[in-house]
Structure 1
C-alpha cells in the first residue's frame, strides 16, 4: 500500500452508524455468560483492555471493577469498536449481556485521536502502530472507497493511544504499519522493505545481545588450554587452526589480507551458503565456531560419548540444535544491554570452576556466535530507507587480531548511502545530482595506545576523518602524525578536507540506527 492516510476530525459517519446499530439496545454480548455478575440496579466500571475485529463484529477484553473493589476480566463482543483504554459504566440486563448508554458509545467513537500536535510530534516523525479494526465507510455512488481503521500507537509519547485513520485501501487487521507525520491530520505511509522486517530484527537483536560474549573471552580460553590426552585430536586440530589463522595488525595493513579478513569475519556466512560457496567456508569465523561447537558438545558429560567419526551430514543437521542448547545457558548471564550501537561493548561470560572444561568452552563458543550475530543484526537494523528516499546499507563486523600475546578485537562498520532514484516524470533541469556517500568506523583497544575510535566519510573522492583516543599521550602522539597520514591519503588519490584527533570518546557514538520501520505483513 502507498499514499497518504488522513486523521478524520470528527467521525460523523461512525456516529451515524452507531446510532443505527444501537436501535435494538446498546448491548455488549458476553462470550461466556455470567449470572449475577452485576447486581440489578447497580453498575460497574469497565475498561477496554484489548480490541480485536472478527469479520464485522469486534471482540473486547474488559476489566470490570465490581462492588467492593473486586476486579475481573470478561470477554465480550460488540457491533462497534471501543478504543483501547475506554472507560465505561456498564450494567447487566441478562446473564449473557452487558449494557452501556448510547451516549457512552457515541463518546467512545470520538475518544480516539483526531488531531496530532506537531509541536509534540514534528513533521517527519515516524509513528508505528498496530491495526485493530478496518471498516469500509458508506460512500455515494461513483465515489472512491474509504476505509476507516483504529490503530494503536506503539512508539513516541503517544504510545498506547488509539488513532483513527481514513485510507483509500483497507489496512490488514493485526498488521504493523509505519507512517511519517505530514501535518496535524495527515500521515504518509512508509512502504514495506523487500528484504527486512525491522521490528522482528530489533526484537531478535535484543535477544542475541543478552547472550553474546566478547570473542577474546573464547580465544583467550583456547590459548590457555593445557596439553591434554583426553581432548580428541580433531577438536585440538580445529582449535590450533583457529588460533593460527588470527591476523596481526601488520598483516591487516595489506589490502588483500584485510579484504580476506573482512570476508571471513562471519558476517557473510549465510550469503555464501545461499550462493553455494561451500568451498570457501573453511576460514570463516562463524563457520569455524559452529564446527567447534559440534566437536565439543559430544564430549561434555551430559551428552553421548564423543564420536570423531560423525558424518558431516549428521553434524550439519544437528548443529542448529547444538547452538540452541548452548545459547539457552546464556540467557540469564548478566544484565541485558541495549540493542544496537557501535561499537558493541566488551562483555564477559563467567566460567565455571574448571575454566578449561568442555562445558565452559561450549558456553564461550556459543556466546561468541551470538556476538557475531549481534553484529549481523545490527547491520540489518541500521539499513533501510533514508528520509529523502535514498538507501542506507550497513555492514558491521568484528575481526579478532593477535597483538603479541594478546587478542585484540577490531570492530568495523561500513555504511553506503545511495541517493534516491530519479523519477521519470521529473524534469532534467530540476533534478539535483547526488552522489554515493561512504562512512567507515573503527574501534579497537591496542596496547599501549589504549581505546581508539576512528570515523571517516568519503564523498566525491573527498575524505574527512575524526580520531578519538581516550589516553592523553595517545591523542598527542596521533596529532603529531596527522601530517604524515594526510600525505599518505593524498598519495592514494584522496583529497583530505578534514582530519583531526581528539582526546576522549566520540559524541553520540551509541546506536546510529535509522528512524525507520516497516509494515509487518506476517503479523
Structure 2
C-alpha cells in the first residue's frame, strides 16, 4: 500500500492529533524510518533529522496536516510501560520461595560448604558464623509452622530463641508454639509480612525495627553473607540469581507449577557455599519483586480506557512443614470498588466485590484450589481437589460449612467441590506487557 493510501486508511481529519507507537526503526538509503502502529494499523514514515531519539516501544503524538504527518512530540513512558519493562527484567531470574527457603533452613543443620583447599574433603562443611545463624533464624521465626498433632493441619506461628552451633535438625532451638492456632489476625499478619507490601509499608513508615518482613529479612541475610565474605552491599548485584526452571517456562502463570519435593531436610542435601546462598537469595528476592510488579501491572491495566479499576494483589505465603521443609500457598486477591451510582436503581452496580484465589499443595490432601467471591453479603465458593479422597471429604463437609457461613449473616449462592484443577489461562508475554496501546 502506498503512503497516501495508508494515510487515508487512518481516517484522520485535517490537523487531528493521534498517539502512535514505534514498532520498528529502519534505515532505507540513508533515510531514518519508523514503522508506527496507529489505530491498529502499521504505517511507515520518514523521520526528521532533527527529531528526538527514538527506540522501539516509544509513544509519539502525531498530527495530520493535509497529505502529510507532523511529529508533535515524544510522550513520556506510561505507567504500564515502566512496570512492564521492570517486570521483564526480573522474570527469567525467579526462585521459588519453597525450594529456596528449604535450602536456607537446611543450612541451620548443614552449615556452610567448606571451601576447597589443603586438608578439606569433598562434601565437608563448617559451622555457620553467629551473625549468619541469627539472620537465618530471624527468617525461620517469620514462617508459620504446620503441625498435625491434633489430627489436622494447623498453621502456627513459630517462636524461636537464638541457637548456637550445628545441630542435627534445622529446627533445633525453635520453641513450641505459644498459641493454639493461626487466627484471623495471624493470617493478616502473615500476608502483611510476606514481602509483597514492603515498599508500601516503608513509604508509610509502618515497618517495625525488628525484621518482621520477609523481603527485608532476606535482604538482611544477604547483607550478612556479604559482610562475612568481606564484600560491600553494592557487590550483591554481581551474583547471578539462581532461577527455578518452572518459573522460567511459566513466569506469570497463576497458580504457578508446583515444585517437586526436596525430601527430608535432615539428610540428602549438601551444604551450600556462601556464594550459592547469595545466588539463591537473589532469585527469591526477584520472585517477590515479580509478584509486586505483576500486581501493580494488573491493577494499572484494569483501569485503562475508563474501565473500573480492580486492585490486585498476588503473593506467595510460605510456611514451615514438619522436618524443616518449606511450602507455599499461592494467593491472589482482587478488590473491585466501582464508582458509587447516585440513581437508586443502579446502586447495586456500585457494590464492592472481593475475589480470593488460593492454591496449596498439602502432604495428606494433595493439591487444593479455592475460588471465593464476596459481593456485599452474598458469597460463592468453589473448591477443586486433585485427589478423589480429598474431594469426597470436602463434599461431606460442605453442608456444615454452609450452615456456619449462614450463621455469620452471609447469603451463600454457590458452594461446591470438584475434582481436578480450576481452568487457567496461560499468561503470554506479548508486546502489551511492555507498552501501552496507542
2:184 matches 1:255: yes
Q: Which residue of structure 1 aligns with residue 331 of structure 2?
A: 412
Q: Deviations over 1:23-72 (max 9, x none)?
A: xxxxxxxxxxxxxxxxxxxxxxxxxx955xxxxxxxx612xxxxxxxxxx
Are 2:196 and 1:267 equivalent residues in the alignment? yes
State the Cα distance separating 1:442 from its structure 2 match.
Answer: 0.6
- What TM-score does the superposition give when structure 1 sets the normalisation length? 0.58
Q: Which whole-Å deviations, capped at 9, do the CAs of 1:235-269 have from their partners, x for residues lacking one? A: 11121232233113433740111111111110111
Q: Distance in 2 between matches of 1:519 and 1:430?
A: 39
Greater relative contact order (CA < 8 Å, ≥ 6 in sequence): 2
Compute the displacement of 1:459 (Å). 0.6
What is the deviation of 1:149? 6.4
Q: Please, which runs of 5 or more residues in structure 2 have no aligned partner?
A: 1-6, 15-22, 45-55, 112-125, 146-153, 157-180, 263-268
Equivalent residue of 2:350, what SS? coil
Please name the residue that 1:43 is paired with.
none
Q: Does 1:233 align with 2:122?
A: no
Offset of 1:324 from its aligned partner? 2.2
Structure (1 or 2) with the larger CA radius of gyration: 1
In 2 relative to 1, CA 434–356 (structure 1 residues): closer, same or farther, beyond 3 Å? same
Q: TM-score scaled by structure 2?
A: 0.68
Residue range with higher mean Cα deviation, 504-513 or 474-483: 504-513
Root-mean-square deviation over aligned CA pairs = 4.1
**Aligned-pair CA distance for 1:278:** 4.1
Distance 2:408 2:235 in 1: 47
Select the residue among 370, 375, 384 that pairs with 2:291. Answer: 375
Taking the TM superposition and a 5 Å limit, the aligned residue runs for 1:68-467 are: 74-76=29-31, 112=43, 130-131=58-59, 134-135=62-63, 137=65, 148=69, 170=72, 172-173=73-74, 197-225=79-107, 226=109, 230-248=127-145, 249-251=154-156, 253-279=182-208, 282-300=211-229, 303-304=230-231, 319=233, 321-326=234-239, 328-330=240-242, 336-346=248-258, 355-384=271-300, 385-386=302-303, 389-405=307-323, 406-420=325-339, 428=343, 433-467=349-383
The CA deviation at 1:134 is 2.5
Task: Indicate the SS of the match to 1:394.
Answer: strand
Cα offset for 1:363? Answer: 1.8
Q: Which sections of structure 1, spanning at least 5 residues, go unmatched?
A: 1-6, 15-48, 52-59, 63-73, 86-109, 114-127, 140-146, 151-169, 177-191, 305-317
Partner of 2:175: none
Q: 1:375 to 1:500 in 2, by over 3 A?
A: same
Aligned length: 353
Does the CA-based 8 Å contact 2:84-2:434 persist in structure 1? no
Instruction: Give the Cα–Cα distance (whole angstroms) in 2 for the partners of residues 75 and 212 of structure 1.
Output: 43
Question: Residues 294 and 322 of structure 1 are in contact (CA less than 8 Å); yes or no, is this contact kept in structure 2?
Answer: no
Q: Deviations over 1:63-121 (max 9, x none)?
A: xxxxxxxxxxx5226xxx78579xxxxxxxxxxxxxxxxxxxxxxxx9949xxxxxxxx
Secondary structure class of the residue paired with 2:155: helix
